Amino acid sequence: MTDRHLDKTPTILRKIVDRKWEEIDERTRRVS
């Protein structure tokens, strides 16, 4: 995802996406 795309995203949505990616990151770390 590019910064340009994020700029068009509402702040609330961006926070939700951020949290989702953090969860995915944690899961991948546990798996590896």
* Residues 8-30: tens digit of each pLDDT: 668 888 899 999 999 999 999 99
Q: Helix (H, G, I), strand (E, B), or coil: what is residue 32? A: coil
pLDDT at 10: 83
> Is residue 1 predicted with pLDDT exceeding 60?
no
CA distances from 9 to 5, 6, 21, 31 (A): 7, 5, 15, 30
CA distances from 31 to 3, 19, 27, 28 (A): 28, 19, 6, 5
pTM to 2 decimal places: 0.47
